[in-house]
């Protein structure tokens, strides 16, 4: 294995997390804590600071679109000039 590969933290089972909730909360203050259900990863507990950092809005949609690599690109936007069809109502 590579020395630079990040080691995954040990996961908690639901029962173990319930029995050691204070410890899970304490550890989540410094790094995310994975909780598994029936051997399958189910949820990750993180600190409020981490949650706020991950969910913070980083700008508007307009700013995102204007900073797109396609901003200013000449895209084909020609429209058909066909007349609408007659519909019997």
Distances (CA, A) of 18 to 9, 23, 54, 76, 82: 18, 10, 25, 58, 66
For residue 63, the Cα-to-chain-centroid distance in whole angstroms is 20
For residue 88, pLDDT over 70 is answered with yes
What is the pLDDT averaged over residues 21-50?
97
0.75 surpassed by pTM: no
Do residues 20 and 12 make contact, with C-beta atoms less than 8 angstroms apart?
A: yes
pLDDT digits (tens, 9 = 90+) for 40-77: 999 999 999 999 999 998 889 888 888 888 877 777 77
Q: Tell me how far apart the alpha carbons of residues 64 and 89 are, in angstroms, rounded to a whole number.
A: 44
1 pLDDT band, cuts 50/70/90, is very low
């Amino acid at each position: 294995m590579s020395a630079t590969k990040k080691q995954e933290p040990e996961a908690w089972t639901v029962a173990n997390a319930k029995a050691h909730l204070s410890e899970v909360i304490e550890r989540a203050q410094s790094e995310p804590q994975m909780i598994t259900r029936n051997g399958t990863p189910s949820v990750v507990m993180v600190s409020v600071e981490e949650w706020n950092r991950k969910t913070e809005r980083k700008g508007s949609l307009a700013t995102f679109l204007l900073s797109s690599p396609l901003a200013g690109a000449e895209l084909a936007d020609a429209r058909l000039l066909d007349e609408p069809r007659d519909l019997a109502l």
